[in-house]
Amino acid sequence: MRVLVLEDDPGLGPEIADGLRRAGFAVDLAADLAEADLKLSVTDYHCLVADRGLPDGDALGLVAARRAAGWLRPVLLLTAMDSVADRVAGFEYGADDYLVKPFAAAELAARVRNLCRRPEPARLPQLRLGDLELDLPRRRVTRAGVLLTLTAKEFAVLELLMLHAGAVVTRTQLIESCWDELNEPMSNVVEVLIRQLRRRLGPPDPIETVRGAGYRLIDPADPVGGG
């Protein structure tokens, strides 16, 4: 298993790499974000072990950019930034594990081995219906080639409709999939969100209301799907 270690400390970086090599890993070392980004572009590593504070920025930016581009390999952040807020930020930006300095070499090796054993998740697809396209890994929506700006909730509803394109998605399905238990099921949150989503998507309207049943996503340019 091949691991990339991103660490700018000239003493600690080689020490980490040597420890992982002794544990049986093939290890490459990068001293800054630019070097790490280049190596990630040309080599399929099984895991990235990254310090956060680098000479050219925070490794969280690199992790977030890689995740947005669909890169799914595990990431372990190895850093002295040990507050709860720091750890939460690491996970929110796409890290899989967090180890605070100082650390034991044996624990680092065990954590990396555990991450490398995880099966790589299936890549999420790009969903298309007519001129509407959802790029799920990048969380992007385009219509007729124009990038649209959607809220997280609007994206979630559109994703569910597109996954069931041509079929009726009930109000209950939308509530259960896109809202939590704090929302009152009898409120009009679904109707309000659908109105907002229709405005975002613009004409012709691809969301068909099926009275008494729910909503269906159609291709308005399709004489069959558009009714």
Is the per-residue pLDDT at 157 higher than 70? yes
- Among 136, 153, 138, smallest CA distance to 200 is for 153
Q: Where in the chain are the domains?
A: 2-117, 126-217
User: Mean pLDDT, to the nearest integer, of 66-91?
Assistant: 86
Under a CB-based contact definition with an 8 Å cutoff, are residues 165 and 217 in contact?
Answer: yes
Residues 4-37 pLDDT 10s:
999 999 999 999 999 999 998 989 999 999 999 9
Is the per-residue pLDDT at 207 higher than 90? yes
Q: For residue 14, give the amino acid letter.
A: P
Bridge partners of 148? 141
Q: Which fold has domain 2-117?
A: Rossmann fold (3.40.50)
CATH number of 126-217: 1.10.10.10
Element of type H or E holding 109: helix 105-117
Provide the pLDDT confidence category of residue 225 given band limits of 50, 70 and 90: low
Domains 2-117 and 126-217 share a fold: no
First-last CA distance in the chain: 54
Joined tokens for residue 78 = 């190895």
